Chains A and B, each alone.
Chain A
Amino acid sequence: MKRLVEGNEAVFLGALKAGATFFAGYPITPSSEILALAAEHAARDHGFKFIQSEDEIAAANAIIGASLAGAKSFTATSGPGFSLVQEAIGYAHQAEVPTVFVNVQRVGPATGMPTMPAQQDILQTKYGSSGDYYPLVFYPNSVEECYRYAITAFNAAEESMSPVILLSDAFIGHLNEVVDLDAIEVKVVPRSRPPLGTGKRSFSGLAHDEEGNPRTADAEVYRKWLSKVKARHEEVAARYSDFKFKGNTSSDTLIISYGIVSRVIAPLDSEFALFRPIRIFPMLGPELQHYAQGYKKIVVIEANDGQYGCLVERELKREVIQVPLLGGRISLGLAKKGLSEKLGREVH
């Protein structure tokens, strides 16, 4: 049935569709609707478990416990809350625990601008915890995609045996669009690991061998483990090499943008070629290289001070023009103004 759905609601409904039965969270704008929906759902359906945690740290660790106990689990947070869950994200990578973290981005650092959208956590999703890890990160730009990629995030989590991050922002999270979610066909990957109480396994944040024995001073065991985990993440990522490309043969410039910014600048397609990565990490290296080929100039427009742009530059090994949209005011006018300045000509 077609109806008006909000981005945050679509994320929650996608999680349910994916088989999630556990949510823990701490209220924080602009992600709180997901927590409220989880609370309401738990009140109706006793198979669905909900904890309003004392802080985001507790929530992040609760979803890890829930996953080990056999539930598909998730949390949703924003801004400073996303900083607080970083340690747990690292733990889930080390202990190989599938779970989903939703981050509805707002302007930071710190308390920043709590109700204004931003894309300032891009690098934090990849590098926020200690150590080396290979996160899978998706960033939808519509209500329908919020639903779709919430499901994808759960699937990828089970396949990669690791936490997957679903990015959103204050605009996408609060965006209302008419969609028919029932009509969306998606596959759901079943739970990958037998729950606690069925074996003699040791789950831990320590470096470990194949049997789970702590191996905290053996470089060879660690290297072998990390390369295995890396290969698994690359293999899973390859199943979700999702992006949108709109070529423009009359233009010499390709604009790369994602999430809310890609929606805002969509009208520029008459003047520019547009590329939108949906799988933000691991980066779409070969795809970016392929589509950037015919274009003299590469521009990255994003609501941060060049976080993805610097990685695109590294990926393409060529100069990238950066147009930052800062302070939560994301508009086509602002993007055109930035483009005009950087390209040295009037963009209409």
Chain B
Amino acid sequence: MFKELLKLERFPTIWCPGCGIGQIMIQLAMVMDELGLDHTNCTVISGIGCTGRLAGYMNMDSVYTLHGRTLPVAEAVKLVNPSLKVIVVSGDGDLASIGGNHLLHAVRRNPDLTVLCNNNQVYGLTGGHAGPTTPRDTRTVSSPAGSPYDPVNLQNLMKAGAKYFYAKTTVYHQVHLRHCIKEAIAWPGFAFVDITSQCIENHGRRLGFNSAYEMLLHFRKTYKRAPDGAEILGPDEIGIVRKG
């Protein structure tokens, strides 16, 4: 049962009602259950931010690292114990901003890690500040006139490596999300799953959404499956691009 992989005694979680992170956690637990991953052969490592708290809800040894430092910790864990499945779960701000240098070099070194990135395009925990993935012109607490920059292109960053695995999915597309997590865990190298997710309380409401449900419907309307074998994902496409 996937529920045995969660520390239910720590529930309710700290996440706001309607947050997307819980869905990512459930899908991860279901995949782990299917693959036979548990406290004897797996560890979950997370960084700071709302997503960072996920590690502490997993019923196995987990590490909630410093802000931005998931990848150096995870790479070292994998190097010391290659038989351990190491899964990193963190937010876009943690991975792509403060941890950006580590991400760049993880792509270069290609360690055998699975990274799930909860990409809600905002610093939710601090109250809704613009992050590295915030789309241009988006109004946030720290970009009242709209973010002046284009977001970081995670797909291109991953493809900077000679070998890469990049999956783009959303919290709405649950079956696809689960498929991406499963494929990423099976990938023998650095696998990055970019999960578009909703932060209703500290971002969505400012954008005009009335509920998390509206945000999910927006994901459904916006994102389409990329054709099989696509080598590049368009901005509104979900799918997997990889090169072994």
Contacts and interface: CB of A to CB of B under 8 A. Distances in A.
B43 interface: yes
Contact of A68 (B63, B101, B102): B63
B91 to A, nearest CB: 16
A200 B72 contact: no
Nearest to B111: A51
A195 B105 CA distance: 26
A196 B63 contact: yes
B104 A54 contact: yes
Interface in B44-99: 45, 53, 55-56, 59-66, 69, 71-77, 79-81, 84
Contacts of A54: 101-102, 104-105
Interface stretch (A1-9, A202-210, A260-268, A299-307): A202-210
Most buried by A among B7, B60, B80: B80
A206 to B, nearest CB: 7
Interface residues of B, number: 35
B65 A61 contact: yes
Interface residues of A, number: 40
Contacts of B69: 57-58, 61, 88
B63 A204 contact: yes
Does more than half of chain A's interface fall in helix, strand or loop, or is it mixed? mixed
Nearest to B101: A54
A70 B101 contact: no
Contacts of B77: 65-66, 68-69, 196
Contacts of A204: 55-56, 63-64
Contacts of A59: 72
A237 B139 CA distance: 53
B222 to A, nearest CB: 35
A32 to B, nearest CB: 19
A243 to B, nearest CB: 35
Contacts of B75: 51, 62, 65
A151 interface: no
Most buried by A among B39, B76, B80: B76
B76 A24 contact: yes
B111 to A, nearest CB: 10
B79 A51 contact: yes
Nearest to B106: A54
Contacts of A126: none
A17 interface: no
B41 interface: yes
B221 interface: no
A297 interface: no
B81 A91 contact: no
Contact of A202 (B56, B66, B80, B101): B56
A117 to B, nearest CB: 29
A70 B105 contact: no
A195 to B, nearest CB: 7
B76 A203 contact: no
Contacts of A206: 64
A195 B69 CA distance: 19
A199 B64 CA distance: 15
Given A58-B105, A91-B65, A197-B84, A214 B56 contact: yes
Interface in A1-57: 21-22, 24, 49, 51, 53-55, 57
Interface in A63-77: 63-66, 68-71, 73
B10 interface: yes
A203 B66 CA distance: 11
A198 interface: yes
A22 B80 contact: yes
B40 interface: yes
8 contacts: A54-B105, A68-B73, A195-B81, A196-B61, A197-B84, A200-B39, A203-B61, A206-B64
Interface of A: 21-22, 24, 49, 51, 53-55, 57-59, 61-66, 68-71, 73, 87-88, 91, 95, 195-206, 213-214
Given A65-B65, A65-B77, A69-B77, 12 more contacts: A49-B79, A51-B76, A54-B101, A54-B105, A57-B72, A58-B72, A61-B69, A66-B79, A70-B80, A91-B65, A197-B40, A203-B64
- Top 3 nearest A-B pairs (CB, nearest first) are A65-B73, A65-B76, A204-B64
